[in-house]
Amino acid sequence: MNPLYLIPVILLIAGVCYMVYMNAQHSSAKSEINLEQERSRYDIYKQELLNEDFPELKQWMKDKPIDAFTGASVPQSTSNKLQEIVSDGVKNIALSAIGLGLRRVQTDCFWVLSGKDLHFLSTNTEGDLDEHIIFDTFRIEAASLQYSGVLKSQLGIYSKASEEYLPKVHLITFNIDDSSLSLEIHDRLNYTPGPADMLNMKKQLANRAKYQVVGEKLVNILQSRFSNLKTT
């Protein structure tokens, strides 16, 4: 028998063995994570992430306090709507001014809660700040919030994560001169393991837990400051 015919079989067996090994590693590492216990470390994790993983947020916010922060995204429906507004000759000047930056967002985005202001920050393909939109108390008090489930509009960004690690989102809708603008608040920050950590499942799950603990807090704090955003 030509040994070349054995190569696909060997590769298949190796692939199956690798998947079995990784699943076992995942189950073992996951059993060691107590999310409730992790949540008690919110303040520590928040500072760690700001200092080590997302120091650019402190730079972009300048001297403003960061009470909470998490991931964000622009729903496809919002992106399409803003594209239409801009294409129609700027019918709504206030909304189209915001739309110029948001209608094409597919890069990393963040929410930062600072006092009673909510900041939406988007990045360009190099990871630099592209758009910084501030929603003040007036805008937030007229906004609404609803739970939307697992993120569906940008699944490609999270292709390295299994479905259970996809962010769950709340949709916050602002009134901009009698027009609505909806944006997504994630319950965690976007985590992509580096090449050195691809086989370190324990470290990956520990980081995912940390990113979730920090990210999910923003909605809780936001709702405590704005009763109109409380959901049932």
Q: Where along the chain do its domains lie? A: 32-229
Q: Residue 218 in contact with residue 69, Cβ under 8 Å? A: yes
**pTM reported for the whole predicted model:** 0.77
pLDDT at 21: 45
Q: Taking residues 164-193, what's their average pLDDT?
A: 87
Q: Taking residues 187-199, what's their average pLDDT?
A: 80
Contacts for 16 with CB less than 8 Å, ≥ 6 apart: none
**Residue 32 DSSP code:** T
Nearest alpha-carbon partner for 187 in 203, 173, 202, 171:
171
Under DSSP, is residue 110 helix (H, G, I), strand (E, B) or coil? strand
Q: How many CA atoms lie within 13 A of 86 on its CB side?
A: 15
Q: How many CA atoms lie within 13 A of 228 on its CB side?
A: 11
pLDDT at 119: 95
Q: Starting at the edge strand that comes first in sequence, how are the strands of the sheet with 68-73 ordered?
A: 129-135, 117-123, 109-114, 68-73, 179-186, 168-176, 144-150
Q: Position of tokens 């470390």? A: 41
Q: How many residues does the chain have?
A: 232
Rg (CA), the chain: 21
Condensed to tens digits (0 to 9), the pLDDT of residues 76-122 reads 766 565 555 545 555 554 555 555 456 555 678 999 999 999 999 98
Task: Tell me the sheet residues that pair with 172.
Answer: 145, 183
Condensed to tens digits (0 to 9), the pLDDT of residues 116-163 reads 999 999 888 788 888 888 999 999 999 999 998 888 654 454 444 467
pLDDT at 24: 47
- Rounded to whole angstroms, how far apart are CA atoms 225 and 232? 16
Residue 177 pLDDT greater than 80, yes or no: no
Amino acid at 31: S
Q: For the chain, count helices (H), then strands (E).
A: 8, 7
